[in-house]
Amino acid sequence: MDGERARTVEEAAAHRPGRWLVPALVILLVAFSALSLMLGPARLTPAAVMDGLLGNGGVAVVVRDIRLPRTLLAIIIGATLGLAGAALQGLLRNPLAAPSVFGAPQAAALGAVVVIYFGYAEVYSPALPLAAIAASFLSVLVVILVAGESASLVVLVLAGLAISSLAGAATSLAISLSPNAFAVTEIVFWLMGSLEDRTMRHVALVSPFALVGAALLLSQGGALRTLALGEEAARSLGVDVRLLRLAIVTGVAVGVGASVAVAGTIGFVGLVAPHIVRPLVGHDPRRTLVPAALAGAVLLTAADCAVRVIPSASEVKVGVLTAIVGVPFFLYIILRRRAELAGAPA
C-alpha cells in the first residue's frame, strides 16, 4: 500500500505543472542582477556595465569591486534562505516553517554579536561565520525538538518566538554592556541586515558554507518527498527520519549562519519564496527546492535594487524592507491556515 502511494507521488510529479518555472526564474534573476549592477549613486547603462566587467578604469572599480560583490551576495544569500525555507517546510510539513520563524537568523546574529563583542573576529576571521553557524544550528535544533513529531502550528510558532525573543534579549544586553561604540555600530548592523559595502572577501567567506548547506539540503529531496506520505510510511519505505532531520538542521544552520555572518539578519525570504513556487510544482517537496532557491535569489536581488531607489537620506537596510513585506505575508498565511483548520472536518 505504501509503495503504491509512493508511486502515485512519483507519477504526479512526472506530470507536474510549471515546467517553465525554472527558466522563467533564471531569466528574472539575470534581469535583476543586471539591474543591480546598473543601480547606485551613479547610474550606469548596460554598455557601461559590460565595459566595467571586462575592462579597466574607474567604471571597472565601481562595477567589479563595489556592485558585483553586492549582487553576488544577494544571489547567494537569497538562494540559501529560499532553499532553507523550502527544506524546513518539507521536513515539518508546515507552511509556517522558515529560518526566521525558527529564530535561526536572530540566533545566528547573536553568535556573530558575541564574536564582535569579545573581539574574536579581529583575531580569527572564521570565528564570525563559525559562531553564527553554531548558534543557528542550536536554534533550529531546539525548535524541532520542542515541536516534536507533530510539529503543530501553535507549538512551532511559540517555540520560534521564544528562541527569537531570547536571542534578541541577549543581543540587547550586549549592546547595553558594550563599552566600545564601534562594536555597538557593528551589532546594530547585524540586527538590520544589509548588503552595502560588501567586498569579494565576503563572497569568498559565505560561498563554501552556502555550497555545503545547499548540497546537504538538496541531497534530501527524495526523502522529503517520501516524508510527505507521513513519518510511518516514510520509515516503512526505508527513510531514516532522524538522519533526515539532522541533515536538514545542519544544512539550514550552515547556510543561514554563514549568510547572517556576512549580511546580518534578513528575514522572511525563506518563508515567502517556497510559497510562491509550491503551487506551480504540484506541491512536491522535492521539486520545490530548486525553484524556491531561485525565487529567494530573485526576491533578495529585487529587494536590494529597491533599497537603492527609495528616496532617503541614507540607504534603507534590505533586512528592514524584507521584514516590511514579509510580516503581512506571514499574517496572511496564518489567517489562511486558520481558515483551513476551521473548515476541516472534526
pLDDT tens, position by position, 51-95: 999 888 789 999 999 999 999 999 999 999 999 999 999 988 888
Closest CA to 131 of 190, 197, 203, 82: 190
Query: How far apart, in whole angstroms, are the C-alpha atoms of residue 110 and residue 128?
Result: 11
What residue has cell string 541614507? 314
Instruction: Look at the alpha carbons of 81, 137, 86, 157 in this order and tell me if their dihedral is positive or negative.
Output: negative
Query: Which domains are present in the chain?
Result: 2-343 (1.10.3470.10)
Q: How far apart are the first and last CA of the chain?
A: 26
* pLDDT (0 to 100) of residue 325: 86
Residue range 283-319, pLDDT digits in tens: 899 999 999 999 999 999 999 999 999 888 788 889 9
**Residue stretches of the chain with pLDDT short of 50:** 1-2, 5, 8-9, 12-15, 346
